[in-house]
Structure 1
């Protein structure tokens, strides 16, 4: 399993646009082949900063999503809303405590 974390900063006036678009596409992203989990977080100290946190079967599944029409559509609407370049990490879970 591959975990993808993406940090995004938005201009204040673009936050509602981003949230509306994310809500419109969240089920499509979550149901994309290979996606096993999807969450959206907001920074508690900076309300213009958001993180997506998703689980993918493997790197190929994530890459298939990144090459898809769905990604092009979502990213095409999201990218112009940024106040700074996004940052992304692909990580693997080593330990989980319940």
Structure 2
């Protein structure tokens, strides 16, 4: 399992649109094969910055998602709302405390 972190910076006028869109697809993303966890965070200092954290069984699962019709539709609707280039990291969880 590994964690995918995506940082997105939105135009302030598009935050509500993004949240509405995310709420419509969050269950589909979470239930995509290989996805084990999905959360959305909003920065406390800058409300235009959001992060998604998703856990994936394998890198192949993430790549299958990234090549899916679902992802292409979500990304098409999301990227036009950005005010800056998104950043993404794939990381291995080293320590987790319950």
- Unpaired runs of 5+ in structure 2? none
1: CA distance, partners of 2:70 / 2:29: 8
Count of residue pairs the alignment pairs up: 98
Structure 1 stretches of 4+ with a deviation exceeding 6 A read: none
Scaled by the length of structure 2, the TM-score of the pair is: 0.99
**What root-mean-square deviation, in Å, do the aligned CA atoms of Structure 1 and Structure 2 show?**
0.5
- Unpaired runs of 5+ in structure 1? none
Q: Say whether residues 1:18 and 2:31 are aligned partners.
A: no
1: CA distance, partners of 2:71 / 2:96: 29
Give the structure 2 partner of residue 65 of structure 1: 65
2: CA distance, partners of 1:41 / 1:97: 19
Q: Say whether residues 1:54 and 2:54 are aligned partners.
A: yes
Cα distance, 1:46 vs structure 2: 0.3
> Whose strand fraction is larger, Structure 1's or Structure 2's?
1
Scaled by the length of structure 1, the TM-score of the pair is: 0.99
